[in-house]
Amino acid sequence: MNQLNHFDETGQAHMVNVGNKPETHRVARATGAIRMHPATLKLILEGGSKKGDVLGIARIASIQASKRTAELIPLCHPIQLSHVSVEFTPDEANAVIECVVTAISQGRTGVEMEALCAVSVGMLTIYDMCKAVDRGMVISGIRLIEKQGGKSGQWHMNETQNVEGIVAEPL
């Protein structure tokens, strides 16, 4: 396992110096899900929320979060995003909405944190908009599923193992 790169040789936290790294095309995809009561999902899909278009607002919140990640995560670099897409997929049989965010940049550092932050805020926005009818919603499975670019190249979740040695599978 590599050393944690947000600590210097004395163990003090610092922002990683990316000034000498070449700019490359960077892509990151992250996912997460929110489980709810079936009636809540039905309300969302039929547009019955008093607060408006739940998934439309959650999509905008996700995009906004991706652009503000460096303000929320102390050692993240502010980066120029060239594209962010947010896809919500409802699963009526299981009363779940899955979110997949793709973040793209041309830069010196990856966009994994931007994708992960976007998924998190999208799920939280759905919760916020629907909590009046369902406080028992559960947000889960927020994780990186793919990354491209930079020194480490490509990475896909299904090719790695989690801490317990179990192959990590997307939702």
Q: Are 104 and 81 in contact (CB under 8 A)?
A: yes
Lookup result for tokens 């979060």: 65
Token reading at 1 = 């396992």
Among this protein's residues, is 53 annotated catalytic? Answer: no
Would you kindly state where each structural domain of the chain is located, as residue ranges? 24-159
Marked catalytic residue, from 53, 91, 128, 134: 128
Q: What is the pLDDT of residue 152?
A: 79
The architecture CATH gives domain 24-159? 2-Layer Sandwich (3.30)
Beta-carbon contacts of 115 under 8 Å, excluding residues fewer than 6 positions away, are 28, 29, 30, 66, 101, 102, 103, 144
- The structure's pTM equals 0.84
> Each residue of 122-133: pLDDT tens digit?
999 999 999 999
Rounded Cα distance, 86 and 66, in Å: 10
Token reading at 51 = 């607060």
**What phi and psi, each to the nearest 5 degrees, are found at residue 20?**
-95, 0
Residues lower than pLDDT 70 in the chain: 1-8, 11-19, 159-171
Buried b (16+ CB within 10 A) or exposed e, 56-83: ebbbebbbebbbebbeeeeebbebebee
Token reading at 13 = 């936290």
